[in-house]
Amino acid sequence: MGEENKTDIYSVEIHGAEDAVTPPNDEKKNKYRNLKKKLQKKKDKKDDNLKQELEIDDHKLSLAELEEKYGTDLKSGLTSTKAAEILARDGPNRLTPPKGTPEIIKFLRQMVGGFSLLLWAGAILCWIAYIIQYAQDNTVARDNLYLGIVLAGVVILTGCFAYFQEARSTNIMASFNNMVPQQALVIRDGEKKEIPADQLVTGDIVEIKGGDRCPADLRILSSQGCKVDNSCLTGESEPQSRSNEFTHDNPLETKNIAFYSTTCLEGIATAIVINTGDQTVIGRIASLASGVSNEKTPIAIEIEHFVHIVAGFAISVGILFFIIAVSIGYRILDSIIFLIGIIVANVPEGLLATVTVCLSLTAKRMAKKNCLVKNLEAVETLGSTSIICSDKTGTLTQNRMTVAHLWFDQEIHAADTSENQEDQSFDQSSGTWIALSRIVALCNRAEFKPGQEDLPIMRRIVVGDASETALLKFAEVILGDVMGIRSRNRKIVEVPFNSTNKYQLSIHDTEDPNDKRFLLVMKGAPERILDRCSTIMIGGKERPLDDEMKESFQTAYMQLGSLGERVLGFCHYYLPEDEFPESYPFDVDSMNFPTDGLCFVGLLSMIDPPRSTVPDAVSKCRSAGIKVIMVTGDHPITAKAIAKSVGIISAGSETVSDIAERLKIPIEKANKRDAKAAVVNGMELKDMTSEELDDILKYHSEIVFARTSPQQKLIIVEGCQRQGAVVAVTGDGVNDSPALKKADIGVAMGITGSDAAKNAADMILLDDNFASIVTGVEEGRLIFDNLKKCIAYTLTKNIAELCPFLIYIIASCPLPIGTITILFIDLGTDIIPSISLAYEKAESDIMNRKPRRKLQDRLVNANLAIYSYAHIGIIQSVGAFLCYFTVLAQQGYLPSRAVNIRVYWENVNDHELEDSYGQEWTYRQRQLLEWACYTAFFISIVIEQLADLIIRKTRRNSLFTQGLLRNKALLIGLASQIAIASFLSYCPGMAEALHFVPLRVQYWFVATPYAILIWVYDEVRKLICRRHPGSWYEQNMFY
C-alpha cells in the first residue's frame, strides 16, 4: 500500500484511498456543522467497502508480471534491505486487534441497563424524599433511606449475577491470532531462512509443505501434489489441490492462490506472498467480524418497552396526585413526598431479579440439551427467531465424506449414509462387487491410526484426505480388516493422484496362491478412467465396452453428479504373467506397464451426508413458521442436493431453472415468481442490488445461497433483518464469524467450530446438531410465555401497594401499609413464586404457532397491563382495604372516624386522641395499631397473591386442564409465601425492627373470599376466550 493509504491501513478497506474524503473548499467553513453525520456516513462507507468482494488480480498475472509488481526475484527472493522497507511501510504480518471493551465498562453496563435504571431512579427518589423529610424533622423514620439502600442493593446484586453469568471474552481477534503460523520458510538474498511469520512482507518467496499453515495469502509458483484445507473459508470438506494454473476468475476458486491460515494437507509448494496481515482474506474477515456491532436482543427491547410503560404510568399517577394534594391544601414539600412515594410504589423491585434468574434457569436447562448460552438474553431471542440462516458443512451435514451410491452391473445402489453405516443393504453377492471392493481397499493411501481397534469404525481417526477416509471406512465396515487385505496383497508400486492425470494407480501381488499375475488397480475422474478402458465387468465377467455400455455409464454418471455427489471411477487389469514376471522392475517414471485397455468395474459417489436428525428439525421449524435458509460456500449442485434431502427445498418445489427445464424454455423467459424455491450463486449475488436481494427473500420461501463469501453472508443476514425478521445464524468456520456476530443470535458449533466462530456467537451447540436449535427455539418461546406470566403476577399487586398512598392522601386516614412492608412483598414473599412460573410447562404445542412479531406481540402489552392493574389489582385492593378497616374498626376506629384523622394521628405530642367509642389513644398505642394495619394489609395481599399465582399458570387453558400439581416449584412458591408471611408476623422483635406485629388468626381469612373471587373471575375469562376465539372479548382480555 502506498503512503497515502496509511490512515486506513488498520481498517482493511479494498479502496482505502477512496475513504480519505476531503471536503471541497466551499465546505471547509462549515467543517463542524454536520460532523456527526459525516462521521456516520464515512463509517457506513467503510462498512460497505469491507462487504465488497476481494479484488485480487495476482492469480491472472504471469510470472514476469508478478516479479515486476512486487519488485522481487522469483529465484532469490527479496533482499533483506527491501524486505525491511516493505515491513516498515505495510506493518507486521499480523492482525490488528480492535479496541477492546474494558471489563469495568461491561460491569457498569449491567448496572445501568434497561430495568436497572428504573430501580436506580427509585433509589435516588427515596433518598431525596428522606433528605426533604430529615430537613423538616430530624426524628423522622428512616424508611425511605433504607428503601433506597435496598433498591440500590438489588441492582448491584443482580448486576453482579448477570455479569458473572455472561463473563466471557468477546475479543474476536484473539481467536484469529491463534490461527497465525509462528514460523515461515522464506527465500531472501538467495538463501532459505526460517523467520517469524509476522516478519513476512509482500514479494517474499516462501515454501510450504504438508502440515504447515499458510503464513500469508500466496500465489503458487510451483507445486508437487499440494492440497489445502479451505473448509474454514469456503465450507468445502474436500481438500483442494493447488498448482500454478490459473483456473478461475474468482480468486477463491482458482487453484493458484492459497490463503492465510489455511492448512497445507500434503505435498509441497513454492509461492510468492501477495497479501499480509489485515490485507489477507482472513484479515478482512477479522475486520468484518470485529467491526460488526451487536444487535440489541428482542428481550432487551421488550424490557426497555416495559420500563417505559411502568415509568410512564408511575410518573403520570404521581403527578396527578401531586396536583390533587396541592389543590386540597397540602404543603408543597409534603406533596413532593407523596409524589415520590407513589412513583416508588409503582417500581416492581423484585422483577429485575426474577427476570435474571428465570433466564439463567432456562440457560441451564438448555445446556443440558446441548445448547450452551453465552448471553442470557439470547435465551429468549432464539424463541423469537423467524429466519435461520444455516451453514451446510458440519451443521446440516456430518462434516465427513461418506460413500452414498455405487454403480456396478448397470445398476445404481444406495449405500447407508447414517452415522454408523451398519445397514449396507445393496447386493454384495456379485463378482463385480467383489472386484470393486478389492480396488476400493487397495487403491487407497489412507490408514487408521494404530491403537483404535476398540473404537467404532466411524469414530476412528484416519491419516488421509476426506475422500480416501470415506472409502477406507466404507470398505472396513463391509469387508473388515482392510489393513490385513492390503498386507496380503502387497503393494509393488504406486502413482499418486495428480491434477494432470486425474487418477491414482497402484500395482499389487494378489493373495491367490494359484494366480501369480500382478493386479493393477486404478481410481480417478470417471471420464478419464473410462477412456483408459476397453472392457467393462458385468456380473463378474468382462464384456466389450461398446456404445450402449458407454451410454449406460454416462446416464449413471450424470444422475449421480446431479445429486451433488463427488463421483469416482474404478477399474483394474491383471498384468499378463509372461510379460510381467515376479521379478519385473516396475518404473513409475517411464511408466513401463499398461495404463490403457483396462477393465472398467464401477462407480462410487461420495457426499458429506445430512445428519439423520436434520430433516425432522427442518420440518419442525417449518411448522413453527421459521424459514430455514442454507448459506454455504459449497457448489450450488451439492448445496441444492443437500437442501432437498433435509427438506429446506421441499418435494415438488421448483427453482427457476427447474421451471425452464420442465417447460423447455430459456431460463430468462421463466417467471421467477412461479418458483417457490431459489438457488442463488455467489457470483449472481455479487451483482445484485439490495432491492433484488430483498425480492428473493420476500417471494421465495425456500432459499439456498451457494458459493457465498463471508461478506455475502453478512449481506444476506442484513437483508433478512430488513424484512423485519429475527435472524439466527449457524456456522462453524472462520468465514461465518461476521454473520454470526451480526445476527440477532449467532449459533456456533461446539465440536467442529473454530474459536473465531465460538467467540462471535451468542450460543454454542455442544453436539454440533442442527436439531438442538429446535430445542432452543422451544425453550425460547416457553420462557417468553412464562416471563409474561411472571410480569403479570408481579404487576398485579402494584395497584394494591399504590392505593394505600392515594387513600392516605385523599381520605387523610392512617397509612394502610408502609414502604418497608411493601418491600417485603416485592423482595420477600413474591420472589420465589414468580421464579416458580419459569418452570411452568407450555399450555399447548408452542412449536405449531408462528414466531412472534417484534412490534405487535409484546412482552407487556396493553391487555396485560389493564387486566393486571384494573381487574385483578382492583379486586386485591378492595380485599386488602376490607382487612385494614376491619382491624381499625375492631380496635375502636370505625371508617367514619378513620377518615380525615391523619394529621392528629401522626402528631407525636397528642396522647389523647379519641376513637369512635371515646377511648383515648397515646401516640405509641396508635403507632402499634398502625403497624398492625400494615401487617393486616400485607397478609391480605399475600393471601390474594396465592390466588394470583395459581391463575397465572395459564393464560388460556383452564387450571383443571393444566393441573395444579404438575409444577412442583409453584407448590414450593405457594408454601414460601405463607412461611415468610408467618415469620414476619410472629417472629419476636419484628415490631421495632420492621414494623410487623403478631396478628389475630381471623384477620388471615378476611381477604380469602376475594382470593376465591380472583380465581373464579379468571376462570370465566379463560372460558369465554376459549369459547369465542377471535371475538372482541378475546382481543381485549387475552394477554
**Could you give the angle at the alpha carbon of 296 between the alpha carbons of 291 and 301, nearest 5°?**
165
Partnered with residue 519 across adjacent β-strands are: 508, 574
Check if the beta carbon of residue 369 is closer than 8 Å to that of residue 570.
no
Check if the beta carbon of residue 1006 is closer than 8 Å to that of residue 940.
yes
C-alpha 325/C-alpha 335 separation (Å) is: 6
Specify the DSSP element, H or E, that contains 564. none
C-alpha 344/C-alpha 818 separation (Å) is: 12
C-alpha 375/C-alpha 741 separation (Å) is: 12
Specify the DSSP element, H or E, that contains 13. none
Measured CA distances, 166 to 374, 376, 778 (Å): 6, 7, 22
Specify the DSSP element, H or E, that contains 167. none
What contacts 197, CB < 8 A, 6 or more positions away?
93, 180, 181, 182, 183, 184, 215, 216
Check if the beta carbon of residue 262 is closer than 8 Å to that of residue 229.
yes
Count CA atoms within 13 Å of residue 518 on its CB side.
24
Residue pointed to by grid coordinates 455427489 = 565
Measuring CA to CA, which residue among 476, 478, 471 is closest to residue 427?
478
Measured CA distances, 967 to 356, 782, 958 (Å): 20, 14, 15
Q: Which one of the listed residues 58, 143, 217, 391 is annotated catalytic?
A: 391
What contacts 604, CB < 8 A, 6 or more positions away?
403, 405, 406, 407, 436, 440, 471, 474, 567, 568, 570
Determine what percent of the chain falls in helix, strand and coil, rounding each to the nearest 5: 50, 15, 35
CA 537 to chain centre: 51
Q: Are strands 491-495 and 503-508 parallel, antiparallel or unpaired?
A: antiparallel
C-alpha 838/C-alpha 834 separation (Å) is: 8
Amino acid letter, residue 913 = L
Task: Tell me whether residue 857 is one of the annotated catalytic residues.
Answer: no
Measuring CA to CA, which residue among 282, 340, 278, 352 is closest to residue 315?
340
Active site members: 391
